[in-house]
Amino acid sequence: MILKNILIRPNALNLTIYAAQGDIGSVIALHKLTDVRNLISIANIAIEKASKEKDDITKYCLYRSAILDYNACNDYILQIIYFGFDFCSRVDSHESYISQMKNDCRRTIEQNENGKRLLVDSPFKQKIDELKIVNDRAKDFFSAYDRFRRSSYKPDVAILEWANNIKHQGGFIVEELLDRKSLARVKTSNKEGELFDSSYMFSPITFSDIENRLCKQNELIVKFLMYLQDAIFGDTTNIDIGVSQKHFTANGYNKADLVGNAYLTSFEIDEI
């Protein structure tokens, strides 16, 4: 088992230049890239310790932590896109930053229509869709992002359901911790004659399943983060003040002075 992490290319000099140019979005994106790098490191330590742990309860706790951390990486990726490609509004205070994080940096928002709770596209998602129509670079990038998302939801890769179970139900069932001798199976039917079988509630996963999926998440997330870093920051060794290397920007859909960057390569995930 070889777990990877991202190598962050922008340094303190790059950060100073972004700030001097008033590119606060890039400053925030770089800080969040560092945060997600640290999160991956913590998750990787938990996975490596869990793979060697003999006590099943301790092993479960370590994997539980890693699942939550890797699931959180997807939120960080969306935030890096939001700030790094200038979808954000002006950030001139802590309050404006928190407000955008809470209300604007999301793909969907809730609406109440005739007493029904509906999820609709957020203004952020609507702007992405508009940008894809008028900007080929943005279209290519979000095509890669969509491929990343689809791959992360494949049955042998996905961890979202496990993370939601941890958040809302306290955890999930693991075969190694399941005492089947103490289980009772109930089969009955309701007034409509629909059959209920309690055995569906006990379809546990194994520690091996968890480790395999987390390793695939690691490879997929690290690969996309490296692609995302290149799309926003380009070749950080080439210091050219006043010229942005962003692959595209949401602040002016087709700015003539936005050179993009030839440093960006394609995002390939066929092997995941």
Tens digit of each residue's pLDDT (9 = 90 or more) over 199-214: 555 567 889 999 999 9
Q: Considering the domain boundaries, does residue 167 fall inside one?
A: yes
Q: How far apart are CA 2 and CA 4, in angstroms?
A: 7
How many domains would you assign to the chain? Answer: 1
Flag whether 33 is in a domain. yes
Asked whether 262 and 245 are in contact (CB, 8 A), the reply is no
In a domain, 214, yes or no: yes
Query: Does residue 271 fall inside a structural domain?
Result: no
Establish if 211 belongs to a structural domain. yes
- Distance between CA atoms of residues 150 and 157, nearest Å: 10
- Whether 90 is in a domain gets the answer yes
Residue 158, CA distances (Å) to 73, 74, 155 in order: 13, 12, 6
pLDDT in tens, 149-160: 999 999 899 999
Within a domain: 27: yes
Among candidate residues 47, 33, 1, the one with its CA nearest the CA of residue 224: 33
Residue 247: predicted pLDDT: 86
Q: Which domain holds residue 214?
A: 12-108+118-176+206-233
Higher local confidence (pLDDT), 261 or 116:
116
Residue 199 resides in a domain: no
pTM of structure? 0.85
Cβ–Cβ < 8 Å for 232, 246: yes
User: How do residues 174-201 score in pLDDT, each as one tens digit?
Assistant: 877 776 555 555 556 666 766 555 555 5
Tell me the CA distances in angstroms from 185 to 175, 176, 199, one per residue in order: 17, 19, 6
Distance CA(256)–CA(258), nearest Å, equals 6
